[in-house]
């Protein structure tokens, strides 16, 4: 049985009044069919079935690309009532086997390929702006809250566009010469650029964590803004606890003493509840002089900004891990995550909606927390085609993901301004933040959503 295929047949059939002929075919399906049939009348036996859906289209260029008429002059209708065509293209179905013979008769056979309408994809839902929109247009300044079921995750390209990293990249800064210390459960170095970290006998070497590790997610998310940054892996010693954090921060100081690296640290962990103060007054949540807090202050004082996740115990849709004592405004940002010296990061989606689990200030130690918001819910380490895999329901999430996005912007700025101090970096991020929700500072998203392009310009122009 012959296989029919959809094709476009280009026939050498000059028509003196090509535009008029086409206009008539457009107005009448019968005329379109008649013209098409007439054009293939000499090609009987090739199994051509012309389509009456499409009017024959006159062509004014040769295959070599030269114009058969002066098209610029034709744009002035009174001077060019009509012009002859070079050839005419019709849509048809033909027997696949007949195509070589048709070509032998001087007919040019083009595939008539199906097209995908871009507007019918789910791009809008995924936060992709159209040609007429900027991504910010999809992110109303009124803010809002994203709770379960969450809005679909977006691509890294969307996050990069929202952050405005192109402005900084264009000047040649992509995070090169900057090392980020990731204090977490470990990073996978087969995918991510781990160049050192904490190591000791009988402990896993830096970079040996599985690709699905929480630390690997953080690594992926640092590289969103700063793809040329390098990483130090500071894995907690087994279970993440205060003693492990103290050891890791000391390792950071040890490294900085040697060569000034790492330049920044990422800290996507904390507590999900608060013990009773009368029972444990010297717990990290209550005592600002806990050794871990003092060590964090030492790291920041050494010139390395410390970014901490706000936490996932916001009142609107807290993580199931949260204890009731640690949920909601005033209860959910505490311990080192609430120190004045650190940069505390809340989470928003690509529509500038606060993600409902993002913890809310005031902070336990410093009232004005969180400091800023950064993006979460995107395909970084997890998701289709990403290193850790998964389907569209798997994506980088939590304030854990937002924090390394902010760190990546910090790395980008340090790449451009190596002498940037932690207070100046924080000031630049705060001043450049895109305010959402209430005007000015609020305890939901701090001073707003961070923006690399604006922060870069502020520092570059000496405004910070």
Partner 1 sequence: MRWLVTVKRGVDLGALAALVESAGGSSAAADPIPLGDDEIVVEIEATKEAAQRLARDASVISVHPSSDYTLY
* Span near partner 1 by CB under 8 A; candidates 85-93, 97-105, 293-301, 420-428: 293-301
Return d(Cα 52, Cα 127) in angstroms, integer: 39
Q: Candidates 122-130, 135-143, 394-402, 439-447 — which segment interacts with partner 1 by CB under 8 A?
A: 394-402
Token duo for residue 329: 């405004």
Nearest to partner 1 of 87, 331 (CB atom): 331
Q: Which residue has the tokens 């940069």?
A: 343
Distance of CA 300 to the CA centre of its chain: 29
Cα–Cα distance for residue pair 128/123, rounded to 1 Å: 5
Q: Which two tokens stand for residue 375?
A: 């993006």
By the rule CB under 8 A, 247 interacts with partner 1: yes
Give yes or no for a cis peptide into 362 (omega within 30° of 0).
yes
Binding segment (CB under 8 A) for partner 1, from list 65-73, 221-229, 255-263, 294-302: 294-302
Structure tokens that stand for 192 in this block: 């991510």
CB of 302 to partner 1, least distance (A): 13
Q: Are 400 and 268 in contact (CB under 8 A)?
A: yes
As a dihedral over the C-alpha atoms of residue 14, residue 20, residue 22, residue 23, rounded to 10 degrees, the angle is 180
Asked if 320 is part of the footprint of partner 1 (rule: CB under 8 A), the reply reads no
String of contacts with partner 1 for each residue 252-271, x by CB under 8 A: ----------------xxxx
291 binds partner 1 (CB under 8 A): yes
Of the pair 292, 429, the CB lying nearest partner 1 is at: 292
Binding flag, residue 284, partner 1 (CB under 8 A): yes
Query: What does the block give as tokens for 318?
Result: 């807290």
> Mask of contacts with partner 1, 296-315, x by CB under 8 A?
--x----------x-xx---
Q: Are strands 4-11 and 87-95 parallel, antiparallel or unpaired?
A: antiparallel
**Residue 227 or 311 having the CB closest to partner 1:** 311
Spatial separation of the C-alpha atoms in residues 334 and 444, rounded to whole Å = 14
Is residue 241 a contact residue for partner 1 (CB under 8 A)? yes
Does residue number 321 form part of the binding site for partner 1 (CB under 8 A)? yes
Size of the site for partner 1 (CB under 8 A): 39
DSSP line for 20-67 = HHHHHHHH-HHHHHHHHHHHTGGGTTS--EE-SSS--EEE-B-TTS-B
To partner 1, the closest distance from the beta carbon of 233 in angstroms equals 15
3-state secondary structure of 230: strand
Nearer to partner 1, 36 or 268 (CB): 268
| Smallest separation, CB 177 to partner 1 (Å) | 29
CB of 333 to partner 1, least distance (A): 11
Number of neighbouring beta carbons within 10 Å of residue 203? 12
Query: 399-418: which residues touch partner 1 (CB under 8 A)?
Result: 399-400, 403
- Compute the residue count for the chain: 464
Backbone phi, psi, residue 136, to 5°: -65, -25
Peptide bond into 275 cis (omega under 30): no
Q: Is residue 390 near partner 1 by the rule CB under 8 A?
A: no
Q: How far is the CB of 320 from partner 1 (least distance, A)?
A: 11
Q: Quick check: 242 binds partner 1 (CB under 8 A)? A: yes
Nearest to 89 by CA among 27, 28, 21: 21
Cβ 167 vs Cβ 218: under 8 Å: no
If binding is defined by CB under 8 A, does position 240 make contact with partner 1? yes
**Window contacting partner 1 (CB under 8 A); options: 7-15, 167-175, 227-235, 241-249:** 241-249
Q: Is 126 in the site for partner 1 (CB under 8 A)?
A: no
Would you count residue 272 as binding partner 1 (CB under 8 A)?
Answer: yes
CA distance linking residue 31 with residue 56, whole number of Å: 10
Please name the helix (run of DSSP H) or strand (run of DSSP E) that holds residue 220, with its range, or none: helix 214-225
Q: Confirm or reject binding of residue 224 to partner 1 (CB under 8 A).
A: no
- Residue 423 CB, nearest approach to partner 1 (Å): 21
Q: Are 399 and 312 in contact (CB under 8 A)?
A: yes
Stretch in the footprint of partner 1 (CB under 8 A) among 114-122, 133-141, 164-172, 286-294? 286-294
Which string of x and - marks every residue 168-207 that binds partner 1 (by CB under 8 A)? ----------------xx----------------------
**Nearer CB in complex with partner 1: 156/297:** 297
Min CB(142)–partner 1 separation in Å: 26
Largest CA distance in the chain: 99
Instruction: Identify the CA nearest to 341 among candidates 312, 302, 287.
Output: 302
Candidate ranges 32-40, 226-234, 280-288, 378-386; the one touching partner 1 (CB under 8 A): 280-288
Binding stretches for partner 1 (CB under 8 A): 184-185, 214, 236-237, 239-243, 245-247, 250, 268-272, 280, 282-284, 287, 289-292, 294-295, 298, 309, 311-312, 321, 398-400, 403
């Amino acid at each position: 049985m012959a296989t029919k295929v959809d094709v476009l047949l280009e026939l050498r059939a000059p028509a003196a009044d090509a535009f008029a002929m086409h206009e008539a075919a457009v107005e009448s399906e019968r005329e379109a069919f008649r013209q098409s049939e007439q054009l293939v009348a000499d090609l009987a036996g090739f199994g051509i079935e012309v389509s009456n859906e499409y009017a024959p289209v006159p062509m004014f260029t040769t295959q070599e690309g030269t114009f058969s008429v002066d098209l610029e002059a034709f744009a002035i209708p009174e001077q060019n009532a009509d012009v002859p065509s070079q050839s005419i293209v019709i849509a048809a179905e033909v027997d696949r086997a007949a195509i070589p013979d048709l070509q032998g008769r001087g007919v040019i056979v083009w595939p008539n390929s199906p097209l995908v309408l871009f507007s019918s994809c789910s791009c809008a839902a995924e936060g992709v702006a159209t040609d007429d929109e900027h991504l910010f247009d999809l992110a109303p300044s009124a803010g809002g809250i994203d709770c379960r079921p969450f809005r679909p995750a977006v691509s890294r390209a969307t996050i990069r566009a929202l952050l405005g990293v192109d402005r900084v990249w264009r000047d040649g800064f992509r995070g090169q010469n900057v090392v980020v210390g990731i204090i977490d459960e470990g990073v996978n170095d087969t995918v991510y650029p781990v160049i050192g970290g904490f190591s000791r006998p009988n402990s896993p070497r830096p970079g040996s964590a599985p690709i699905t590790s929480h630390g690997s997610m953080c690594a992926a998310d640092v590289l969103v803004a700063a793809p040329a940054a390098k990483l130090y892996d500071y894995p907690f010693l087994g279970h993440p606890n205060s003693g492990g954090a103290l050891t890791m921060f000391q390792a950071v100081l040890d490294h900085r003493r040697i060569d000034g690296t790492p330049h920044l640290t990422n800290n996507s962990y904390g507590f999900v509840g608060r013990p009773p103060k009368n029972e444990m007054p010297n717990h990290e949540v209550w005592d600002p002089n806990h050794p871990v807090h003092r060590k964090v202050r030492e790291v920041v004082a050494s010139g390395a900004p410390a970014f901490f996740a706000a936490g996932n115990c916001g009142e609107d849709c807290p993580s199931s891990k949260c204890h009731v004592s640690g949920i909601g405004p005033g209860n959910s940002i505490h311990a080192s995550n609430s120190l004045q010296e650190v940069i505390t990061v809340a989470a928003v989606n690509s529509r500038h909606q606060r993600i409902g689990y993002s913890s809310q200030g005031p902070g336990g130690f410093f009232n004005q927390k969180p400091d800023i918001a950064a993006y979460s819910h995107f395909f970084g380490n997890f998701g289709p085609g990403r290193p850790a895999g998964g389907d569209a329901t798997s994506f980088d999430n939590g304030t854990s993901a937002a924090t390394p996005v902010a760190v990546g912007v910090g790395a980008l700025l340090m790449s451009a301004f190596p002498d940037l101090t932690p207070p100046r970096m924080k000031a630049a991020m705060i001043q450049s933040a895109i305010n959402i929700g209430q005007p000015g500072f609020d305890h939901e998203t701090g001073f707003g959503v961070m923006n690399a392009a604006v922060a870069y310009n502020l520092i570059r122009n000496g405004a910070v």
